[in-house]
Amino acid sequence: MSSEDIQSEHGHSPSALIAARIEKRWATLSVAIIVLLAAMAAFAGIHQATMPQARVETADPSTLHLSGEFIESNLGSAVEPDGSVTVRAIGQQYSFTPQCVVVPADTPVTLRATSADVVHGILIEGTNINTMLVPGYVSVMNARFKEPGDHLMPCQEFCGVGHEGMWGKVQVVDKDTFRAMSTDNRRLTCVK
């Protein structure tokens, strides 16, 4: 039942009808605004702007160090056959492994990360790379760093009293430097 019907049930005073009409106009405008917002989100999503992670993947934190993609020797940045780079990292109370992530500029980068203990987060300042690390699950984010430079990489979720000290770093180097680095090492970091 529309608001006009209700108003008209108790008297057809012209002011009541006018009031209801104005109100209806506003309600229509409000709905239009909301539909527009949702449509914009859908459009941007379909056209592959930044998207929340699509699929759920799991990793057992109690065996991370024994087998699978998150064993220590496999952490860091790896060059894929198609030229893109995959970064694998772990968060634990109260540091990241590796603490310093090195990536090439202007190259597709896939971040794959998980937690070895409690809930952590990875945020790379000056970018919109921002994801939770939930133990038991693998977080995946796609990124492309435009220019070389350094970024702070704090944990953004409360993970215990040492949370304040959990800061990592991201070093974006130009493509040639990165290629030169990767000839010697299968997995790259900038940990000194």
Partner 1 sequence: MLSNKRLVLAHFLLAFVLFGVALLLGAWQMYIRSPLHPWLSNPELYYRSLTAHGTVMGYAFPTLIAMGFGYAISQLALKQPLVGPRWAWASFFLVAGGAVVAMIPVSLGWASVLYTFYPPLIANPLFYIGVVLLVVGSWIWVALMSINLRVWKRANPGVPVPLAMFANVAGSYLWGWTAIGAALEVLLQILPVALGFKHTIDAGLSRVFFSWTLHAIVYFWLMPTYIAYYTIVPRAIGGKLYSDTMARISFILFLVVAMPIGIHHVFADPEVGAGFKFIHSAFTALVALPTLLTVFTICASVEIAGRLRGGKGIFGWLKVLPWQNPIMLAVAFSFVMLGFGGAGGLINMSYQLDTTIHNTQWITGHFHLIFGGAIVIMYFAIAYDLWPHLTGRALTDLRLMRAQLWLWFIGMIVTTFPWHWVGILGMPRRMAFFDYTSPELQPEAISVIVSAFGGFILVISGFMFLAVLARGMMTPRTQAGEYRFSVAVHPPVRVPVALNSHGLWVGLMIALTLTNYAFPIFDLAVRKDTSVPAVYVGAR
Render 107-160 in DSSP notation, one character per residue: SEEEEEEEESSS-EEEEETTTTEEEEE-TTEEEEEEEE--S-EEEEEE--S--S
Q: Which stretch binds partner 1 (CB under 8 A): 69-77, 78-86, 162-170, 180-188?
A: 162-170
Nearest distance from C-beta of residue 175 to partner 1, angstroms: 24
Residue choice 49, 66, 81, 183 for contact with partner 1 (CB under 8 A): 49
Residue choice 71, 100, 105, 119 for contact with partner 1 (CB under 8 A): 119
Positions 121 through 150 that interact with partner 1 (CB under 8 A): 121, 123-126, 128-140, 150
Confirm or reject binding of residue 1 to partner 1 (CB under 8 A): yes
Structure tokens at 154: 């704090």
Best CA proximity match to 23, nearest among 37, 49, 40, 2: 2
Residue choice 85, 89, 155, 173 for contact with partner 1 (CB under 8 A): 155
CA distances from 146 to 36, 105, 127 (A): 31, 6, 10
Size, binding site for partner 1 by CB under 8 A? 76
Confirm or reject binding of residue 66 to partner 1 (CB under 8 A): no
Using CB under 8 A as the criterion, what x/- string covers residues 2-41 for binding partner 1?
-x--xx-xxx-x-xx--xx-xx--xx--xx-xx--xx--x
Q: Is 87 left (phi over 0), alpha (psi -120 to 50) or beta?
A: beta
CA 33 vs. chain centroid, Å, equals: 27
Confirm or reject binding of residue 164 to partner 1 (CB under 8 A): yes
CB of 61 within 8 A of CB of 117?
A: yes
Nearer to partner 1, 42 or 180 (CB): 42
